[in-house]
Amino acid sequence: MAHVSNARAGSPHSQTLHRGVRVLEVLAESGGPLSIGEVGARLGLHRSIAYRIVRTLEDHQLVARDRDGRLTLGVGLAVLARSVKASLQAAALPELSLLANELQMTSFLVVHEGDEAVTVQSVEPRHSTVHVAYRPGVRHPVDRGAPGLALLAGGPPVAGERPGVAKARRTGWVTSHGEVLTGMRAVASPVVSRSGELAGAVSVVYVSSDHAVEDIGARVASAAAAIAGQLP
């Protein structure tokens, strides 16, 4: 399950805005639609308070309801996300689409924000009967899961870092199992621009595959290199 960040201890903030952001984070990491009651319970809020927050988010298309009245993230988030790392996302989208459809896995792009890996773009395979949904806005600790480890591998060595990070620098990719989403496997590769700056990481997530993990890693690394080649 993806990590939901807490507000900085001791920092001043608007309680209403903070709760609204926390609602979005809970929906991003839930793995499926939630009722208002479930959202409120996860945040320790009375249902009436959760309802008012959700209605405001709905007004801005940041939250949507399915036919059963359960909550999901809304299309308004995708509109906002398009302005984040716009040149990187423009370079990444064609490669993510190719990757997703070739491997029949959800592919996605993450960036390093503070001590977290944040998903800013994802593509689900067109013809897969079963695949993992992994939407923009998901965030988790950068030292957990293949996407985070790939981001760390794109930077200089650090004392005490996980062995997988050093290995990723040698092989160009890293794998993990169940570190972010229970039971799910991920393979990721850093995107390092020609100027040597870490831009992000490309990853795929899946339950099982007929492809050998080495072949998946090589293909993900190839996609990352193709994206990097289009950056300054």
The pLDDT tens digits along the chain (232 residues) read: 343 344 444 444 678 888 888 888 888 877 778 999 999 999 999 999 999 999 999 888 888 888 888 988 886 776 665 554 567 888 899 999 999 999 999 999 999 988 899 888 999 998 766 677 777 888 889 999 999 999 999 999 989 899 889 989 999 999 999 898 888 999 999 999 888 889 999 999 998 888 999 999 999 999 999 999 988 7
Residue 51 domain-assigned (yes or no): yes
Domain of 54?
Answer: 15-77
Listed residues 27, 46, 77: the one ending a domain? 77
The answer to pTM > 0.85 is no
Does residue 203 share a domain with residue 132? yes
Are 59 and 100 found together in one domain? no
Residues 47, 102, single domain; the answer is no
Tally of structural domains, the chain: 2
Long-range Cβ pairs for the range 150-153 (8 Å, 24+): 150/110, 150/174, 150/188, 150/189, 150/190, 150/201, 150/202, 150/203, 151/110, 151/111, 151/112, 151/117, 151/190, 151/198, 151/200, 151/201, 153/190
Residues 125 and 183 in one domain: yes
Q: Are residues 135 and 107 in the same domain?
A: yes
One domain for residues 26 and 103:
no
